[in-house]
């Protein structure tokens, strides 16, 4: 059986690194371009990367994204454009660039890493929540377009995960308060997110598509 090839963006740390390691453990070849090789803020960079991509992609994980926190009057239209470019437009362009070979082979798995903040929001998350809600809508629409080719696409929406990102925006006392709002009373482990992604990318997943799979310890159930 031919070895499958995955493309994972944002795989240098955090959830992306864990996803890369999980796929490598399944004997999947993983392409994880650096920002110098693939700058998601630049449409030209994305086009150049795709034009020079010599290996057909079987699995795509759009993990890279940015978070901008601020009230509406603290953010600019440039901030909005930047977050939409990286969190929505770039994934769409990459999907468009790799899906034709998936359709020809009648196999493909695409995962968009979204967030609970695409389904629920809070103060200061207006443009981030907007971008993740748009990514989820993109997932659902493309699932309908790709399903007959056995190309399955889903969003994975983590809640609070034990990564550098959560400590960047919260003090230790704030982190403890957040844990108390989660029914399971802890943050997700990176391997719990990557394990879910690994299953959705596998041939064992033959029927799940167009879904927003939330993994948040029950947080948005409250």
**Which of 72, 128, 149, 219 does the annotation list as catalytic?**
128
Q: How many CB atoms lie within 10 A of CB 220?
A: 13
Between CA 8 and CA 70 the distance in angstroms is: 28
- Does the annotation count 219 as an active-site position? no
Between CA 67 and CA 54 the distance in angstroms is: 31
Q: Are 5 and 56 in contact (CB under 8 A)?
A: yes
Between CA 75 and CA 78 the distance in angstroms is: 8
Between CA 110 and CA 114 the distance in angstroms is: 12
Spell 23-40 as b/e; 16+ CB within 10 A means b: beeeebebbbbeeeebbb
Q: Are 88 and 135 in contact (CB under 8 A)?
A: yes
Catalytic residues: 128
């Amino acid at each position: 059986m031919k070895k499958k090839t995955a493309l994972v963006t944002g795989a240098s740390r955090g959830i992306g690194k864990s996803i890369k390691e999980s796929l490598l453990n399944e004997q999947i070849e993983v392409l994880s371009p650096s920002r110098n090789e693939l700058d998601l803020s630049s449409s030209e960079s994305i086009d150049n990367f795709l034009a020079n991509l010599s290996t057909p992609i079987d699995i795509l994980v759009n993990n890279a994204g940015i978070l901008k926190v601020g009230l509406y009057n603290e953010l600019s239209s440039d901030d909005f454009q930047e977050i939409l470019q990286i969190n929505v437009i770039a994934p769409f362009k990459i999907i468009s660039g790799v899906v034709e070979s998936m359709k020809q082979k009648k196999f493909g798995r695409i995962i968009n890493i979204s967030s609970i903040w695409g389904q629920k929001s809070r103060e200061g998350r207006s443009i981030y929540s907007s971008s993740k809600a748009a990514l989820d809508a993109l997932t659902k629409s493309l699932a309908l377009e790709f399903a007959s080719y056995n190309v399955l696409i889903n969003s994975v929406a983590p809640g609070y995960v034990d990564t550098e990102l959560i400590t960047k925006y919260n003090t230790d006392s704030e982190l403890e308060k957040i844990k108390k709002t989660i029914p399971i009373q802890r943050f997700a482990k990176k391997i719990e997110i990557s394990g879910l992604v690994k299953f959705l990318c596998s041939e064992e997943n033959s029927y799940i598509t167009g879904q927003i799979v939330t993994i948040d310890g029950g947080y948005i159930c409250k």
